[in-house]
């Protein structure tokens, strides 16, 4: 904050005066970043043991139309870090997603 005031104004003790004002200004005190320790303990990630048990499935959409396909289905195995990419369409329904998954995995 001192730098913002010092850009346009200067007087002897400008830094001290701005800091004193900020310390006494209620809004500045309420908006101050909290430096407290988080309330909850952090949890460790579980150890993955079996391939193809924990997957991430996402679609990449709004792609140019190629061979009547305009999306990509991405299936990512969290344990082995293997990703499969399957051409798809944006209008795919749940049944179509099931067939894509079965035929390509």
**88 vs 67: CA distance, rounded Å:** 10
Question: Can you give the pLDDT at residue 29?
Answer: 67
Question: Can you give the pLDDT at residue 3?
Answer: 76
Give the pLDDT of the chain (105 residues) as one tens digit per residue: 677 777 787 788 888 888 888 777 777 667 666 677 767 777 887 787 888 788 888 989 888 988 988 999 998 988 888 898 999 988 888 888 888 888 887
**21 vs 47: CA distance, rounded Å:** 52
Question: Can you give the pLDDT at residue 72?
Answer: 92
């Amino acid at each position: 904050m001192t730098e913002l005031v010092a850009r346009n104004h200067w007087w002897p003790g400008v830094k001290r005066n701005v800091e004193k004002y900020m310390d006494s200004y209620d809004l500045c005190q309420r908006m101050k970043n909290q430096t407290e320790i988080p309330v909850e303990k952090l949890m460790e990630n579980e150890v993955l043991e079996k391939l193809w048990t924990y997957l991430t499935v996402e679609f990449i959409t709004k792609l140019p139309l190629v061979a009547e396909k305009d999306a990509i289905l991405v299936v990512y195995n969290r344990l082995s870090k293997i990703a499969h990419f399957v051409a798809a369409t944006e209008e795919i329904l749940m049944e179509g997603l099931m067939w894509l998954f079965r035929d390509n995995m």
